Structure formats: C-alpha cells, structure tokens
C-alpha cells in the first residue's frame, strides 16, 4: 500500500475522532506489516467462564432473602468479583438497583397482586400546608 492508502484507511477508521499521533504511527506500522484489522490477536489459553447456573441461583437466593445487599457484600459472600455479581444481577436475573434495593425490572404477576393488596394509605401522598399570617 502507498502512503495515501494508509492515510485513507486510518481516516476511515477514526471517523472524525481525535487520535494521538503515536497511535497513528502504531497503526501505520501494523498495516505495513500486513495486519488488516485493529482488533487484538487472540490470547493463548481458554477463557474461563465464572458465571455458572449454580452461581446464578445462589446470587438470586441471597438477593431475594435480603434485597438491600450491596454488590461488594454479595461478591464477598459468593467469592467472585463485584463485576461478575453486577453481570449476574443485570444480565441473567434482570434486576436493577432502586432506592437501595435490588428489584426485578418487570414485576411478576404475584408481585403485582401483592402490591394491589397493600393498604392504599401506604401509597398516599401526604401534603402539609403551612399558612403564614
């Protein structure tokens, strides 16, 4: 490839983003050696999958027992990283943190029924008026 072709490829890949000069030189060297993409080469060895069905069930049981647990507390209890706990809660269990509690993103029919059975005064908005004379 000629210099103009390298420049066109780099401009296409950056698409208006500001890239450091050293990174452009690095890419130029990689393209010159025959590399056709900017993705990293695969690393040797097999990747380790930490998230197992047993782990997901264990985390789900812990969260349902105490919805106020923090990610770090769950990670220490289970023995995995808090990033793994976050992925399990969000991706596998579909939960999100709301008002310091882990709750499902969508309520199940029994949960909806339970909310409807709650006394209505629990959900009333109380407004206090202060009249200044």
Q: Which of 20-24, 63-67, 112-116 has the lowest mean pLDDT?
A: 112-116
- Greatest Cα pair distance, the chain, in angstroms, is 85
The distance of Cα 55 from the centroid of its chain, to the nearest Å, equals: 18
pLDDT in tens, 99-112: 667 766 666 667 66
CATH 1.10.10 placement within the chain: 53-106
The continuous run of DSSP H or E covering 32 comes out as: helix 21-32
Structural tokens at position 129: 């008026």
Please tell me the predicted confidence (pLDDT) of residue 72.
92
Contact present, 87 and 55 (Cβ < 8 Å): no
Whole-model pTM above 0.95? no
56-76 per-position pLDDT tens digit: 999 989 988 888 888 899 999
Q: Report yes or no: 93 and 100 within 8 Å, Cβ to Cβ.
A: no
Choices 2.40.160, 1.10.10, 1.10.357, 1.20.58: CATH for 53-106:
1.10.10
Q: How many whole angstroms separate alpha carbon 20 and alpha carbon 18?
A: 7
Tokens of 79: 């023995």
CB-based contact 38:13 (threshold 8 Å): yes
- For 94-100, what is the mean pLDDT? 75
Q: pLDDT grade, residue 19 (50/70/90)?
A: confident
Give the pLDDT score at 58.
92
CA distance 36 to 104: 44
Residue of 51, 47, 53, 48 lying closest to 85 (CA atoms): 51
pLDDT top residue among 109 and 4: 4
């Amino acid at each position: 490839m000629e210099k103009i072709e390298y420049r066109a490829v780099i401009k296409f890949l950056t698409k208006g983003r500001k890239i450091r000069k050293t990174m452009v030189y690095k890419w130029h060297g990689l393209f010159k050696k025959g590399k056709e993409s900017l993705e990293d080469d695969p690393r040797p060895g097999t990747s380790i999958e930490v998230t197992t069905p047993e782990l997901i069930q264990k985390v789900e049981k812990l969260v349902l027992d105490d919805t106020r647990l923090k990610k770090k507390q769950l990670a220490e209890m289970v023995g995995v990283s808090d990033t793994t706990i976050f992925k399990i809660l969000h991706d596998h269990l579909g939960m999100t943190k709301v008002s310091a509690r882990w709750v499902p993103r969508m309520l199940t029919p029994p949960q909806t029924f339970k909310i409807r059975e709650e006394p209505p005064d629990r959900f009333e908005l109380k407004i206090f008026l202060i009249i200044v004379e």
